[in-house]
Amino acid sequence: MNELQKTTQAELAELSTEITRISRLSGELVLKLTQRLELPTVDPLNLRRPLIQATWSTIRNPTRIIGAQWELTKRYLGLLKYLGFRAIGRETSKAVTAARADRRFKSEAWDEKLIFDLLKQAYLLSADWMLDNVAKMQGVSSEDRHRIHFYTRQFADALSPSNFILTNPEVLETTRKEKGVNLLRGFRRLLEDLNRGDGQLLISMTDYEAFEVGKNVATTPGSVVYQNEMMQLIQYAPSTKTAYTRPLLIVPPWINKFYILDLQPKNSFIKYAVDRGYTVFVISWVNPDEKLRYKRFEDYAHEGIFEALDAIEKATGQREVNSIGYCIGGTLLAATLSLMKSRGDDRIQSATFFTAQVDFSEAGDLKVFIDEPQLKFLEKKMKSQGYLDGESMAMTFNMLRSNDLIWTFVVNNYLLGKKPANFDLLYWNSDYTRLPETMHLYYLRTMYLENRLVERGGIQMDGVPIDLRTVNIPVYIQSSRDDHIAPYPSVYKATQIYSGPTTFMLAGSGHIAGVINPPAAKKYGYWTNDALPPDPEDWIAGAEQHQGSWWPHWDNWLKAKSGKRIPAREPGDGELPVIEAAPGSYVKG
Q: Please check whether residue 427 is in contact with residue 434, taking contact to mean a CB–CB distance below 8 angstroms.
A: no
**Residue 38 DSSP class:** -
**Residue 410 DSSP class:** I
87: helix, strand or coil: helix
> What is the DSSP pairing of strand 248-251 with strand 435-436?
unpaired
> What is the DSSP pairing of strand 464-465 with strand 460-461?
antiparallel
| Cis ω for the linkage preceding 583 (within 30 of 0) | yes
Backbone angles phi, psi at 244, to 5 degrees: -65, 150
Q: Which residues contact 69 (CB under 8 A, 6 or more apart)?
A: none
Please report which helix (H) or strand (E) contains residue 234, including its range: strand 231-236
Q: In whole angstroms, what is the distance from residue 322 CA to residue 342 CA?
A: 19
Q: Is 203 exposed, middle or buried (0-12, 13-18, 19+ CB in 10 A)?
A: buried
User: What type of residue is 325?
Assistant: G
Q: Which residues contact 113 (CB under 8 A, 6 or more apart)?
A: 169
Work out the angle at residue 341's Cα, subtended by the Cα atoms of residues 340 and 343, and round it to the nearest 5 degrees: 65
Among residues 261, 273, 327, 576, the one annotated as catalytic is 327
Q: Which residues contact 131 (CB under 8 A, 6 or more apart)?
A: 149, 152, 153, 156
Catalytic site includes residue 504: no
- Angle (deg, nearest 10), helices 62-87 and 114-135: 160
Sign for the CA dihedral angle at 493, 498, 503, 509 comes to negative
Q: CA-CA distances (angstroms) from residue 90 to 87, 125, 464, 566?
A: 8, 22, 73, 73
566: helix, strand or coil: strand
- Angle (deg, nearest 10), helices 3-36 and 181-196: 30
Catalytic machinery residues: 327
